[in-house]
């Protein structure tokens, strides 16, 4: 493929952040779920042993959440809602049924990705704040038992919401052919952009001026 027909979608720094988050999320989510339910305890082995998982989970979580927030800040400008997003949402049925010719054109991100982006912001902030409140033996002793109990509740709730959102995120990424290659190598073909995010071509033109 000619170089001129390729368009930059993800910069190197963002791609490194993204894949670093995937690795830390793997350890954080599996170890976190091992605490949630007795029959999930075996998942703690991902960090060596259940005891090590208890010690290391907050550290991998902090690494994940801070890198993740950095990525969210970097992608914020592409995730603002625009007028074409309402039309895209109204055609959700066509999106699910893969009626490509009926789906309204999307910009850099489609409305579904923008909704997930908001869920990512909410869960990353709540998981970080509640995680610090619960963190034994460093921070938890500074809070009342009631506050710690509420923090545990919201931490677990957000972890479940995040996991469901991630399942959708990975499903969308694998469903749209060429999307993962874009996150791996940074560039996508002009034909890919025209098919999945046609208004991105106008947006990048506007950015040049
Ligand atoms: C194996 C797991 C994952 C895969 C295969 C994957 C794949 C992708 C792909 C292909 C994109 C680019 C989408 C596009 O160009 O339209 C992307 C973007 C993104 N991913 Fe992931 N991802 C994974 C896990 C995660 C995790 C664990 C997080 C955070 C907790 C995350 C957060 C993001 C964010 C914030 C973006 C920026 C664009 C957006 O708002 O959609 N991803 N991912």
Retrieve residue 195's tokens: 């098919």
Q: In the chain, where are the structural domains located?
A: 3-208
pLDDT in tens, 102-138: 999 999 999 999 999 999 999 999 999 999 999 999 9
Q: Is 0.85 surpassed by the pTM of this model?
A: yes
Q: Which CATH architecture has domain 3-208?
A: Up-down Bundle (1.20)
pLDDT in tens, 63-85: 999 999 999 999 999 999 999 99
Cα–Cα distance, 185 to 164 (Å, whole number): 27
- Span 81-92, average pLDDT: 94
Cα–Cα distance, 24 to 40 (Å, whole number): 19
Among 183, 4, 13, residue whose Cα is nearest residue 109: 183
Q: What is the pLDDT of residue 209?
A: 45
Going by pLDDT thresholds of 50, 70 and 90, the confidence category of residue 4 is low
SS3 4: helix
CA 22 to ligand 1 center in whole angstroms? 8
Q: How far from 4 is each of 70, 75, 85, 182, 187, CA to CA, in Å?
A: 30, 24, 29, 16, 11
Catalytic-labelled residue, pool 10, 169, 197, 209 = 169
Residue nearest atom 14 of ligand 1, based on CA coordinates: 179
Q: What residues form DSSP beta bridges with 189?
A: 6
Cα–Cα distance, 187 to 183 (Å, whole number): 8
Give 37's contacts (C-beta < 8 A, 6+ positions apart): none
């Amino acid at each position: 493929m000619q170089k001129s027909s390729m368009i930059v979608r993800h910069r190197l720094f963002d791609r490194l952040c993204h894949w670093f988050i995937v690795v830390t999320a793997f350890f954080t989510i599996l170890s976190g779920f091992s605490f949630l339910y007795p029959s999930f305890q075996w998942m703690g082995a991902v960090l060596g042993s259940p005891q090590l998982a208890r010690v290391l989970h907050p550290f991998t979580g902090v690494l994940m959440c801070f890198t993740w927030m950095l990525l969210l800040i970097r992608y914020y400008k592409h995730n603002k809602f625009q007028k074409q997003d309402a039309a895209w949402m109204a055609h959700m049925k066509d999106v699910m049924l893969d009626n490509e010719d009926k789906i309204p054109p999307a910009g850099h991100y489609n409305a579904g990705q923008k909704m997930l982006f908001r869920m990512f912001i909410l869960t990353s902030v709540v998981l970080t704040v509640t995680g610090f409140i619960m963190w034994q033996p460093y921070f938890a002793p500074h809070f009342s038992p009631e506050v710690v109990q509420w923090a545990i509740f919201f931490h677990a709730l957000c972890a479940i919401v995040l996991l469901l959102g991630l399942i959708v995120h990975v499903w969308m990424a694998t469903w749209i052919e060429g999307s993962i290659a874009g996150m791996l190598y940074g560039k996508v073909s002009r034909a890919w952009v025209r098919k999945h995010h046609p208004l991105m071509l106008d947006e990048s033109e506007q950015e040049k001026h």
